Amino acid sequence: MIYLTIDELLDKNTISQSIHMIEERDKEINSVLRIEKVEGNKKGKYYGIPFLVKDNILIKGTKTTNGSKILENYESPYTATAVEKLLELGFSVVGKTNMDEFAMGNTNEHSAFGPVKNPRDLSRVPGGSSGGSAASVAAEYVPFALGSDTGGSVRQPASFCGVVGYKPSYGMISRYGLTAFSSSLDQIGVLANNVKDVRTVTQIMKGKDEKDPTTMDHKIDLTKDLDMDLNQVRICIPKIVYNKNLNEEIKVQFEKAVSYLKQKGAKVDIVDIPELEYSVAVYYIIAPSEASSNLSRFDGVRYGTRKESSGLNKMYRSTREEGFGIEVKRRIMMGTFNLSSLYIDQYFSKATKVRRILKNKLSTILNNYDLILTPTSPVLPPKIGEKLTPLDYYLMDIFTIPANLVGLPAISIPFGNINGLPFGIHFIGKYMKDEELLTIVNRFYEQTVKGLK
Ligand code: GLN
């Protein structure tokens, strides 16, 4: 089934084939939490084509666990707008994918339902937090899967699993029905085998939704190429890419991508953007702060598996103590601290100011350049169980976080292998000009990257 695009799958019903593959192969990979079939509109153009959905997106008729014990038995009361639109056109859901608990993490080892194995090397992590979606596409179960991206959770696992991962501009796709982690950063994104399918699926999901006031209308057809070629493109590489003591092999592979682009006529400059140095710090103040507020609803009363105890406060405490895993607790504590009256000025307020400065800086850069280029991740997929500190993990998001802080569209595409492990390069585009980003990246992908597979 793999390498067939959605268009090539039209009129072939591959739903049962997909379910069969999951049943056969996923005992080992663990990327699908549950096979849950929700059929699309039989009259829709895409009827017969299956897809998978990250388990933090609601679909009526499925559970939505968020990879957490606290929501182990939670039944989705309604369907997310993005999924609704796909079902309407005929696509069918075949299951929900594994993820780091509440989308916090980048290895999938923080799922309450066990780690996911990377299909390209079973001893390694698939990335996270949408690792189940990335692994499912890489394992050829489905032509595409939905994920969510708050700081890189679609793009980083795409890079680790050798697939394409795209996070649209903030406001392009409705978040209605996506469990809130950090609402000012979250976006639903697509993982697929090629850029073309990413365009097809996003074109269907995008648009203004009354149920999410942060959505915007976007009139341009994302599936159509604009009149832009690689020889007109101006690309900026932030100097930080070279400061980061990148592993030598990553540097060599990245340089190969740069020289391919130059060969095609693109103008490439290295630009010092010192503000980027602060993006991980800013993210790890803002995201946990918003999360500590968003996750307060999981208290055993309105949501969540209740742990009975004597008295209301004790019941809250034991529910949250037993229901949440270690990383989620760490984030809630950091966020609550950042927002506390004594420290809010020093941390949260300051972080929002730095976020604004970064936004202004990147808009200026993108007045002079069409794209910003970096590796997707500064590291290759670690081994499952490798013991790194939380800070080591947080620093892995250095290249993906800025696009979320500023609301820009960004995409990771596979660019060959390093010692047999997939490697992704990452392009950031202009705000709400996703059509430009996708046109250029698709050209590059079709002309160059496909040949490297
Ligand atoms: N890895 C980042 C984190 O742990 C990003 C997660 C995400 O994008 N959902 O917060």
- Any ligand 1 atom below 6 A from CB of 106: yes
Q: Are strands 50-54 and 144-149 parallel, antiparallel or unpaired?
A: parallel
Q: How remote is the CA of residue 134 from the centroid of ligand 1, in Å?
A: 14
pLDDT value of residue 251 = 93
Nearest ligand 1 atom to alpha carbon 130: 9
Nearest ligand 1 atom to alpha carbon 148: 9
Task: Classify residue 413: in a domain, yes or no.
Answer: yes
- Any ligand 1 atom below 6 A from CB of 165: no
Mutate to test the pocket of ligand 1, among 55, 66, 100 (most ligand atoms within 8 A of CB): 100
Mutate to test the pocket of ligand 1, among 397, 404, 405 (most ligand atoms within 8 A of CB): 397
CATH of the domain at 47: 3.90.1300.10
The tens digit of pLDDT for each residue in 190-231 reads: 999 999 999 999 999 999 999 999 999 999 999 999 999 999
Q: How remote is the CA of residue 103 from the centroid of ligand 1, in Å?
A: 6
The tens digit of pLDDT for each residue in 159-200 reads: 999 999 999 999 999 999 999 999 999 999 999 999 999 999
Task: Classify residue 184: in a domain, yes or no.
Answer: yes
**Catalytic position from the list 54, 167, 244, 433:** 54
The tens digit of pLDDT for each residue in 127-139 reads: 999 999 999 999 9
Nearest ligand 1 atom to alpha carbon 103: 9
- Any ligand 1 atom below 6 A from CB of 150: yes
- Any ligand 1 atom below 6 A from CB of 105: yes
The question of whether 54 is a catalytic residue gets the answer yes
Average pLDDT over all residues of the chain: 95
Number of residues that make up the chain:
453
- Prediction pTM value: 0.97
Nearest CA to 378 out of 274, 279, 244 is that of: 244
Task: Classify residue 124: in a domain, yes or no.
Answer: yes
Tokens 């203004």 belong to residue: 208
**Count of domains forming the chain:** 1
Task: Classify residue 312: in a domain, yes or no.
Answer: no
Nearest CA to 68 out of 139, 129, 147 is that of: 129
Q: Contact, 374 vs 241, CB < 8 A?
A: yes
The tens digit of pLDDT for each residue in 270-319 reads: 999 999 999 999 999 999 999 999 999 999 888 878 888 888 899 999 99
- More confidently predicted of 302 and 50: 50
DSSP per residue, 69-110: GGGTTPBPSS--HHHHHHHHTT-EEEEEE--SGGG--SSSTT
Task: Classify residue 448: in a domain, yes or no.
Answer: yes
Question: Residue 204: in which H helix or E strand, if any?
Answer: helix 195-205
Domain range for 114 is 6-227+374-452
- Any ligand 1 atom below 6 A from CB of 287: yes
Strand partners, 148: 188
Tokens 């976006």 belong to residue: 187
The question of whether 293 is a catalytic residue gets the answer no
% the chain with pLDDT above 70: 98
**Catalytic position from the list 18, 76, 129, 292:** 129
- Any ligand 1 atom below 6 A from CB of 435: no
**Catalytic position from the list 18, 153, 159, 289:** 153
- Cα of first residue to Cα of last residue in the chain, in angstroms, is 16
Q: How remote is the CA of residue 401 from the centroid of ligand 1, in Å?
A: 8
Tell me the pLDDT band of 388, cut-offs 50, 70 and 90: confident
Task: Classify residue 181: in a domain, yes or no.
Answer: yes
Which 8-state DSSP code applies to residue 399? T
Nearest CA to 441 out of 154, 165, 65 is that of: 165
Which SS3 state, helix, strand or coil, does residue 299 take? coil
DSSP per residue, 211-258: TBTT-----S-TTSPPS--GGG-EEEEETHHHHT---HHHHHHHHHHH
Task: Classify residue 76: in a domain, yes or no.
Answer: yes
pLDDT value of residue 414 = 96
pLDDT value of residue 448 = 79
DSSP per residue, 330-341: HHHHHHHHHHST
pLDDT value of residue 2 = 54
Q: How remote is the CA of residue 283 from the centroid of ligand 1, in Å?
A: 9
Task: Classify residue 335: in a domain, yes or no.
Answer: no
User: How would you class 337 by CB atoms within 10 Å of its CB: exposed for 0-12, middle for 13-18, buried for 19 or more?
Assistant: middle
- Any ligand 1 atom below 6 A from CB of 131: no
Nearest ligand 1 atom to alpha carbon 393: 1
Q: In which order are the strands placed within the sheet that holds 267-271? A: 32-38, 92-97, 50-54, 144-149, 187-192, 164-167, 410-418, 421-428, 371-375, 234-238, 267-271
